[in-house]
Structure 1
Amino acid sequence: MGYIEDLRALVGTRPLILTGVTALVIDQQRRFLMVQSDEVWKLPGGFIELGESAEEACRREILEETGIKIGNIQLIGVFSGESYFTKLANGDEYFPITIAYVTEDIRSGDLTPDDKEIQRVQFFKWSAFPKELVERDRQIFQSFIESLISNGRKG
């Protein structure tokens, strides 16, 4: 069992605070990488394991979920609060703290979903982006765009 499964064995479905990571992975055509899980498109990512840095967890999760190996990552921001509360179908509850990164440093790999959590992986042009985003991802994209504007860059 992993860290979260061990915690759940002790506390049951009671709310936990869990720290996770995600990344905006941007390819050379300026497209964004998204994963489809349970019919919903979202940013790839997951939770940090014991002894792992946030950066290591981000690279691991992107590779596991998408088959893409990334290099250098830059912090976008940290997203947390009551509006991110999650209750899973099995009754587990948690408040995530999500550390979001951005990278254009795609080192290798082929788009390959893990077939456990992820059914599809795809790069999207901004004009063809999935319209329905979870609140966390919407706010991450908004923060990323605001940082581009404040730094005088266009996406």
Structure 2
Amino acid sequence: MNYIDMIRSIAGSRPLILTACAIFIQDEKGRVLLQHRTDTDNWGVPGGFMEMGESVEDAARREILEETGLTVGEMTLYNVFSGKEFYFQYPNGDEVYNVIVTFLSKDVSGTLQADHEGYDLRYFDLDSLPEDMIPTSRRMLEKLGADPSLPR
């Protein structure tokens, strides 16, 4: 039983505050990698929750490898997202207030391959995101797309 399952066995579907991580992986054209998720049937940024004793950097790299088949090299801390706009209710009723630590990387290797958590993986232009996105992912990517300090 993993950490979240253990907490859910006590709290049920009531709201939890959980620490998640994601890496905005960009290709040579500046497009960002998104995952069509099986748990929500929406597009979102690949990533997930930390496990006990894991650093956010290690968790982010682990999640990307598991969900995309890619190994992340150099990455840069981008932002921490939290607050009521990062509340999410899963289709099964589980509620979470996310604290999402995000990184940027263009340094990846391996073969892009979806796992059981995703139907598909695809790169999208920040100004042409899919309509059916997880709201929290859309909020993060809108901030990323509007950030004038990032190279294009």
Whichever of the two has the greater Rg, that structure is 1
Per the normalisation by structure 1, the TM-score is 0.86
Task: Look up the match of 2:4.
Answer: 4
> How far apart, in 2, do the equivalents of 1:78 and 1:142 lie?
14
Report the Cα distance in structure 2 between the residues aligned to 1:6 and 1:132, rounded to whole angstroms: 31
The runs of at least 4 aligned residues of structure 1 exceeding 6 Å deviation read none
- Please say if residues 76 and 140 of structure 1, whose CA atoms lie closer than 8 Å, have aligned partners that are also in contact: no
Cα-to-partner distance string for 1:97-146 (whole Å, 9 max, x where unaligned): 1111111111x21111112x211111224465324433322332233234
* Contact in 1 for aligned 2:80/2:102 (Cα 8 Å): yes
1:42·1:137 contact (CA, 8 Å) conserved in 2? yes
Please name the residue that 1:109 is paired with: 110
Identity of aligned residues (%): 35
Partner of 2:141: 141
Higher deviation after alignment, 72-81 or 85-94: 85-94
Structure 1 alignment gaps of length 5 or more:
none
Q: Once the 2 structures are TM-superposed, how far is the Cα of residue 68 of structure 1 from its aligned partner? A: 0.8
TM-score (norm 2): 0.88
1:83 is aligned to 85
The partner residue of 1:67 within 47, 69, 77 is 69
**Higher helix proportion:** 1
Secondary structure class of the residue paired with 1:112: coil
| Aligned AA (1:60) | R
